[in-house]
Amino acid sequence: MTASILIADDHDLARAGLAAMIGGEDDFQIRWSVRDGMEAVDACAAHRPDLALLDIRMPRLDGLGATREIRRVSPSTRVMIITMHDSLDYLEAAIEAGASGYLLKDASRDDILRTIRRVLQGDAFFDGALVAKLLRRAATKPQTSNSALETLTVREREVLSKVAEGLTNKEIARTLKIAPGTVKIHVERIIAKLGAGDRTQAAVMAVHGGLVEMSKVPSR
């Protein structure tokens, strides 16, 4: 089944360029192209695309506001931010708004295609260097109490700490000597218990809560 994609960017050249870059794939198709966040929300409410690719800075409603509204009016639509802004504040806001991906516009075509496919498969992916910086920043802030962290089992806390250290599920499985499928189940339960949108948001919560030592937070 071919996945449907919506692109939202207020610059005609940017929309056309992105469509040209990622078009022609067999497993997804660019179906809608709009110029601002309000149009993106309306299109998602009407058509329920599988994925919305949004810029952040758009008129009437920016990408962050559009992400929140799209997640409300079309919960099945995944949202991915593609922007020129390598801002930690924007990244954190995008995660909190419910975005499943955040990539910079200078990413390669292969990286963009790989991320689109991961997000369409239900995974989440954010620019790795920015996420590392975000976690480092979170680690320098005063620790905050999070009662949800206390509901995690010992194994779940171990898994979450490895997630916050930047390890993949396969790397966590190898480190903790458990099956990758078991790690996946643990991560899903952790996200549910914490009320997080994805593993990145859970990792930020873990760092804020002091679950991970500063020295183990990824530096890049």
- Joined together, the tokens standing for residue 104 give 């910079």
Predicted pLDDT of residue 80: 95
Tell which residue, 95, 13, 81, 21, has the closest CA to residue 53. Answer: 81
Predicted pLDDT of residue 63: 95
Whether 88 contacts 163, CB under 8 Å: no
Tell which residue, 186, 188, 9, 29, has the closest CA to residue 120. Answer: 29
User: From the CB of residue 154, how many other CB atoms can be counted at a distance below 10 Å?
Assistant: 7
Segment 156-205, tens digit of pLDDT: 999 998 888 878 888 899 999 999 899 999 999 999 998 887 888 888 88
Q: Could you give the CA distance from residue 191 to residue 187 in angstroms, rounded to a whole number?
A: 6
Burial of 144 by CB count in 10 Å (0-12 exposed, 13-18 middle, 19+ buried)? exposed
Segment 85-118, tens digit of pLDDT: 888 889 889 988 989 889 998 889 999 999 999 8
* Residues sharing a CB contact under 8 Å with residue 157, sequence separation 6 or more, in sequence order: 149, 211
pTM: 0.76
What domains lie within the chain, and their CATH numbers?
3-126 (3.40.50.2300), 133-216 (1.10.10.10)
- pLDDT higher for 177 or 142? 177
